[in-house]
Chain A
């Protein structure tokens, strides 16, 4: 299971696995140390080593700040861009044996900017006026897609042809000045960082391009009105940030034994921590933040005993802890004034993840739906064992995915820690079963409660965080849990994992048989789905709808946003916890990476792309994630995990066109082409025309808008606008030739009462 759905290897101890070179840096100087005390020696080594690491963090952090400053995108994909450049560099230098300079030029100066440009042109350009959450999901998709492509196409599990190349002319040379000695690779890292930071500060402060970049982030439309090609400015800034990320990636590579995506995720999180320290705007503060983080990490690895549990967990996850604390307590972040685009009103309202789903009051479908389900379940019982097993897995995953339906679909929060909830539940139940013989049936309940407790743990302190900051906090939390807590012997059972029995209770209840377990999982899914459905219909669902629209607005009409959000977190964590127990019980064991950060991201991506708002979306996600790898394996494709990442990552490209989710989009398409006739545009248009005695159709010419908007009831205008994925972004809908539209209805004289009503 874990191998089927996880895309990243679980190994992620950046410092632990670094080569000795970094830790010993500065002490290896040839001629200086003879008469000096050990302390000076230590401190210098610390400073130099920390400086190099901190510089890499700072470098990528400036990339984060740059994209955020110039395109309002919190570019999680930078980690993947850095990884790609490093992989290209490695392949060129170590596999093909090209000269260092040439490899550098290709990897950093060609691949870097081209990647940035490509991402902007294909994805982020059209995302300017969509909700921040959509941009975040797209960046997440790229974070998964790029490494998957690199690994699927040529890189495989990483290079094994010697250590990654350092950006120095003479390998292993050490420069020494008095007591200070710096290995050449660290010196080059420091120099490159200084160059980039000084260059960027000068760009923003003194050049016209820098001024235009700062203006574009606020309103590309107004920049256009000033006679400047805003699109070109954005392109340049994406190319610039791509180059910087590539440089950071190439500089980081020699600090690790191998080039793996997980190393670069850690780099990304550290960079985000530094950027957050710089309030996402100030480059000097960002530099300071990156350096401080480097020093701190270096000091920890020096002074904490390397065998203590704390050291092993804390050392590599320091950036996550720091990011989490910064998000909670860094005052600079709260004082940020978010400027809004004064010309945002030019775009039609875009559809969003948090669009409207009408919980239909229509109960006439309940009976056929139930009957159909029963029939399908019965048919499944006839399947051969292995398929039965797989489908059970799909159902279990769907149950976990319903936790996204609550938190993301209903509450509009993008959480990247659902796997942590599931893992907490699973490990809780498994430990109880192993040590105290508590049956898993009880464990299901306990697991749910443990998940809920963890949900509270994360939701209470983060209540004040909104949007992207909440997502980052959940990401940092997942990484912390994944690195510090789950590897513990007392939690996840160490490297060996835990045995998890199937539910069994002294002869009365016995689900150890695959078929019986299947039925249990179906029942669990049905209960979870029912709960989600009821909550959505109920008061809490309405409250969450309101909060999603506007938290301030909701508070002003007497809704308590904190309570509603805590409820959503609790319910979501409860469902995930129960699902986690079922998942481990389904595999009959847990293994490292089952509930790791890789799965956390992948799950979020799959569910949101397919549709986080509907139960259908969660179901589709579960089945796709379990059955798709089997399909790949059956087709004999090598490296199926990477290809799976590629396919799901490519889903992002569909997602930018259909933020409401693929399942809904297909449903809408089906409705339009094969649906019942009374739901077509013409019908609705006629109804609206009769009802409101309006002379014009509310939705105009079919020429510019081939899709019919009305899939969600007969609401005339506001619904239309909300339900349609508008072609947002710099005037992207094309001018259609005159005369190609359908004939307009006869124009009656307009009633003069329009303005008064």
Chain B
């Protein structure tokens, strides 16, 4: 946290200018789902100079290299092993997440996908190997520092503070990342994407429906786009139509410059979205490559598909 980030090539400011031509889906948007890009009337304080109190984007955006392919991936795992107590869940996992890409992390149940996500966000410390964010080694850093460096993780399952109200859930996140001054604007943005949440702003989050809780988790990370967003089974328990919309949202924010790691049981949906695929089996990487080269391999690598 103390040292400033080295200029990360290709890194965009968090709240991007409106994407040139986002693929507007043909269906009229269901109001509570963020298909539309951020409402233009919302002030965008970070646009000119990323004045973030946490200071994770101190380098001017001018450092972006003009080259077609950024040399350094945003996130690199280098022979990472990790586990829980005596139990070892990951064995020498290596892969890279290129800047601005969506990487689908797939595999059977218990393969270690969630563990990879936890290692990347600092919830589980690796026992071996190294992790890099751009040029910077982030191995062993605590989760809150990684969040300030721009890695956000929407964890599997219920992930809201059940005893706080909806608004408190949002404020907790925004105040820490944007400071007291930026929080109200972010709150406004979140509510304009998810009007449903505005209606329920004073409700205790534990009493929201499962889908509403997912919206709340999503709103927390979306109102202030991170550099890298790791979503772990975001669509779990959602109605199929909502799942579609969630994936469209993910597509949109990727086009706004947010790099994605998507863990999904809806393999086909994930493959539609992703630029690259990493497949895990029993804690090891068995496939790592572009989506188009996967072909029928997917059927062999993910049993039961």
The interface residues of chain A lying within 8 Å CB-to-CB of B127 are 700-701, 703-704, 733, 735-736, 741
Max count, chain A CB within 10 A of own CB: residue among B81, B110, B161 = B161
Contact present for A733 and B125 (CB under 8 Å): yes
Contact present for A734 and B125 (CB under 8 Å): yes
Q: Which of B19-27, B96-104, B144-152, B233-241 makes up part of the contact surface?
A: B144-152
Among candidates B109, B142, B173, B303, residue contacting A229 with C-beta atoms closer than 8 Å:
B142
> Given contacts A731-B122, A752-B281, A755-B111, is CB(A700)–CB(B155) below 8 Å?
no
B176 to chain A, nearest CB (A): 4
Contact present for A211 and B108 (CB under 8 Å): no
Contact present for A731 and B121 (CB under 8 Å): no
Contact present for B86 and A337 (CB under 8 Å): no
Which residues of B129-160 have CB atoms within 8 Å of chain A's CB atoms? 129-130, 139-140, 142-144, 147-148, 152-153, 155, 157-160
Q: Which of B36-44, B164-172, B270-278 makes up part of the contact surface?
A: B164-172
The interface residues of chain A lying within 8 Å CB-to-CB of B121 are 225
Binary B-proximity of A109-149 (CB < 8 A = 1, otherwise 0)? 00000000000000000000000000000000000000000
Among candidates B84, B143, B157, residue contacting A221 with C-beta atoms closer than 8 Å:
B143
Contact present for B147 and A225 (CB under 8 Å): yes
For the complex, give the distance between the alpha carbons of A637 and B220 in Å: 61
The interface residues of chain A lying within 8 Å CB-to-CB of B220 are 226
Contact present for B147 and A226 (CB under 8 Å): yes
For the complex, give the distance between the alpha carbons of A118 and B281 in Å: 44
Binary B-proximity of A364-388 (CB < 8 A = 1, otherwise 0)? 0000000000000000000000000
Q: Which of A338-346, A445-453, A649-657 makes up part of the contact surface?
A: A338-346
Which residues of A346-374 have CB atoms within 8 Å of chain B's CB atoms? 346-349
Contact present for B142 and A730 (CB under 8 Å): yes
B195 contacts chain A at the CB level, 8 A cutoff = no
Which residues of B31-80 have CB atoms within 8 Å of chain A's CB atoms? 54, 79
For the complex, give the distance between the alpha carbons of A45 and B109 in Å: 70
A726 contacts chain B at the CB level, 8 A cutoff = yes
Contact present for B286 and A750 (CB under 8 Å): yes
A398 contacts chain B at the CB level, 8 A cutoff = no
Contact present for B91 and A215 (CB under 8 Å): no
Among candidates B79, B109, B142, B180, residue contacting A755 with C-beta atoms closer than 8 Å:
B109
Max count, chain A CB within 10 A of own CB: residue among B87, B111, B155, B284 = B87
> Given contacts A218-B163, A226-B176, is CB(A754)–CB(B303) below 8 Å?
yes
For the complex, give the distance between the alpha carbons of A206 and B14 in Å: 29
Which residues of A720-757 have CB atoms within 8 Å of chain B's CB atoms? 720-721, 724, 726-727, 730-731, 733-736, 738-739, 741, 744, 747, 750, 752-756
A723 to chain B, nearest CB (A): 9
For the complex, give the distance between the alpha carbons of A186 and B126 in Å: 57
A669 to chain B, nearest CB (A): 16
For the complex, give the distance between the alpha carbons of A227 and B286 in Å: 33
> Given contacts A227-B176, A346-B118, A755-B108, is CB(A701)–CB(B81) below 8 Å?
yes
In this complex, what residue of A is CB-closest to B180? A208
For the complex, give the distance between the alpha carbons of A226 and B88 in Å: 27
For the complex, give the distance between the alpha carbons of A90 and B302 in Å: 71
For the complex, give the distance between the alpha carbons of A228 and B144 in Å: 5
In this complex, what residue of A is CB-closest to B79? A738
B123 contacts chain A at the CB level, 8 A cutoff = yes
Among candidates A215, A730, A744, residue contacting B161 with C-beta atoms closer than 8 Å:
A215
A687 to chain B, nearest CB (A): 16
In this complex, what residue of A is CB-closest to B213? A342
Contact present for A225 and B155 (CB under 8 Å): yes
Contact present for A727 and B85 (CB under 8 Å): yes
The interface residues of chain B lying within 8 Å CB-to-CB of A343 are 123, 155, 159
The interface residues of chain B lying within 8 Å CB-to-CB of A231 are 142
For the complex, give the distance between the alpha carbons of A211 and B183 in Å: 14
B256 contacts chain A at the CB level, 8 A cutoff = no
Contact present for A709 and B86 (CB under 8 Å): yes
For the complex, give the distance between the alpha carbons of A147 and B139 in Å: 43
> Given contacts A226-B176, A755-B303, is CB(A348)–CB(B85) below 8 Å?
yes
Contact present for A738 and B111 (CB under 8 Å): no
B160 to chain A, nearest CB (A): 8
A699 contacts chain B at the CB level, 8 A cutoff = yes
A327 contacts chain B at the CB level, 8 A cutoff = no
The interface residues of chain A lying within 8 Å CB-to-CB of B130 are 738
Contact present for A337 and B172 (CB under 8 Å): no
Contact present for B172 and A215 (CB under 8 Å): yes
In this complex, what residue of B is CB-closest to A710? B86
The interface residues of chain A lying within 8 Å CB-to-CB of B162 are 218, 339, 342
Among candidates A227, A704, A734, residue contacting B144 with C-beta atoms closer than 8 Å:
A227
> Given contacts A214-B164, A225-B153, is CB(A705)–CB(B176) below 8 Å?
no
Binary B-proximity of A679-721 (CB < 8 A = 1, otherwise 0)? 0000000000000000010111101110001000000010011
A722 to chain B, nearest CB (A): 10
Among candidates A339, A346, A747, residue contacting B91 with C-beta atoms closer than 8 Å:
A747
The interface residues of chain B lying within 8 Å CB-to-CB of A753 are 303
For the complex, give the distance between the alpha carbons of A226 and B206 in Å: 18
For the complex, give the distance between the alpha carbons of A590 and B256 in Å: 80
The interface residues of chain B lying within 8 Å CB-to-CB of A217 are 163
Interface residue ranges, A against B (CB under 8 Å): 208, 211-212, 214-215, 217-219, 221-231, 337, 339, 342-343, 346-349, 696, 698-701, 703-705, 709, 717, 720-721, 724, 726-727, 730-731, 733-736, 738-739, 741, 744, 747, 750, 752-756
| A-B contacts besides A699-B87, A721-B86, 14 pairs, CB < 8 Å | A208-B180, A224-B147, A225-B123, A225-B155, A226-B176, A339-B206, A342-B155, A346-B123, A346-B124, A703-B127, A703-B128, A717-B87, A731-B122, A754-B282
3 closest cross-chain pairs (CB), A and B? A755-B108, A348-B85, A700-B88
